[in-house]
Structure 1
Amino acid sequence: MSERARVFFACWPSPGLARAIHRQALRLQQSCKGRVMRPDTLHMTLAFLGDVERHRLPELQAVASRVAAVPFRISLTRQGSWHGHRIIWLAPEEVPAPLDLLQTKLCAGLRSAGFQLEGGSYKPHVTVLRNARSAPAEACCGEGLGWAVDAFRLVESQRLPDGASYRTLGEWPL
């Protein structure tokens, strides 16, 4: 096992919601092409740390255990693309205040503990297609997909030829 782990914090949908998101991804694939994300890999990232020394994983877990936040609901009502239409995503129209607070508290705790975070400003989304050939024709995805968020996870990502494999290293209820 490597001395470093590629890690991130994220919210994970229930299996039923993951299947509904996956169905929307399959519909998008018909027009956008690309590789559909597996239902078990669908998530909304809160903080991406990248490669972290394994001996520091308990520090990450300690930071997460100190984050006080409340459960919230979001609705994935928008769809769009990034990186020249290569990444297709679903996202909420507006960021609920409890999600913004959860993400802000988590990132502040991580920075205070000396961790470097990757990425710019926070844009909550669920990546549903990779290597797409075109953007979605419409910006909205119908009625939206309701999500009751009641926990967040620390996850290790391993790159495999057919996509990523994720292993949960800790989960904290809201």
Structure 2
Amino acid sequence: MRLFYAIFPPRDVQQKLAEAQTSLRGQWKPVRADQIHLTLGFLGEVPQRDLARVRGAARDAARASGPFTARVRGTGFFPNEGRPRVWFARAEGDGFEPLALALRKALPEYLDDGRPFKAHLTLARRKGPAPRVPPVVFDLEFPVGQFALVESRLTPKGPIYTVLDTFPLKGA
């Protein structure tokens, strides 16, 4: 199973982020509005025998973290502005990094890739020649009270996401 941990913003926030995709030109492939999310950790292929441990790590991380407010302010590129492959919206919030780090610590064989965690919501991926997307400024906020374990099945038409479980944050 190809798995990741994610925070899905409310539908109205997803829609506002998707509206920015109208400026895309060339071979940028936009992320569907209902699939816009913030990845806390991409586990990749996980054997069925490890699924209980993956869920347990999420429960423990959720119990140790309280609800917080997420803010989305502007856009950027990965890996850099010179040859971007991903266009994203920057996310800020006191709880993102502690959650991501708790998950990495619990499951280092799946989540510790040595790169620093950068909270973001992918808006589009470049699939070929495409002009750079102009900066977009957002003024969006939303409450974060849970995160999800998601299965991603790749298809020729794009990924299909299935939420396998949700984990409420302490006190949410």
Q: What range is the shorter-chain TM-score in?
A: 0.7 to 0.9
- Of the three residues 132, 136, 140, the one matched with 1:135 is 132
Match of 2:90 in 1: 91
The runs of at least 4 aligned residues of structure 1 exceeding 3 Å deviation read none
TM-score, scaled to structure 2: 0.85
Partner of 2:154: helix, strand, or coil? strand
User: In structure 1, how many angstroms separate the alpha carbons of the residues matched to 2:142 and 2:155?
Assistant: 28
User: In structure 2, how many angstroms separate the alpha carbons of the residues matched to 1:11 and 1:36?
Assistant: 18
> Does the 8 A contact of 1:86 with 1:134 survive in 2?
no
What's the Cα RMSD here?
A: 1.8
Partner of 2:107: helix, strand, or coil? helix
TM-score, scaled to structure 1: 0.84
Match of 1:108 in 2: 105
User: In structure 2, how many angstroms separate the alpha carbons of the residues matched to 1:59 and 1:65?
Assistant: 10
User: In structure 2, how many angstroms separate the alpha carbons of the residues matched to 1:170 and 1:102?
Assistant: 16
- Of the three residues 64, 72, 76, the one matched with 2:68 is 72
AA matched with 1:168: V
Describe the superposition over 1:52-96 as per-residue Cα deviations: whole angstroms up to 9, x where unpaired: 10221111111111112111112211201124222110013xx43
> Does the 8 A contact of 1:81 with 1:135 survive in 2?
no
Match of 1:158 in 2: 153
Partner of 1:61: helix, strand, or coil? helix
User: In structure 2, how many angstroms separate the alpha carbons of the residues matched to 1:22 and 1:97?
Assistant: 24
Percent identity over the alignment is: 25
> Does the 8 A contact of 2:104 with 2:112 survive in 1?
no
Gaps of 5+ in 1: none
- Of the three residues 144, 148, 164, the one matched with 1:149 is 144
User: In structure 1, how many angstroms separate the alpha carbons of the residues matched to 2:97 and 2:112?
Assistant: 17
> Does the 8 A contact of 2:70 with 2:93 survive in 1?
yes
> Does the 8 A contact of 1:48 with 1:118 survive in 2?
no
Q: How much does 1:108 deviate? A: 1.1
Which stretch shifts more, 128-137 or 5-14?
128-137
Partner of 2:111: helix, strand, or coil? coil
User: In structure 2, how many angstroms separate the alpha carbons of the residues matched to 1:32 and 1:146?
Assistant: 30
Q: Provide closer, same or farther for how the CA distance between residues 143 and 159 of structure 1 changes in structure 2, counting only shifts above 3 A.
A: closer
Is 1:44–2:38 an aligned residue pair?
A: yes
Q: How much does 1:146 deviate? A: 1.4
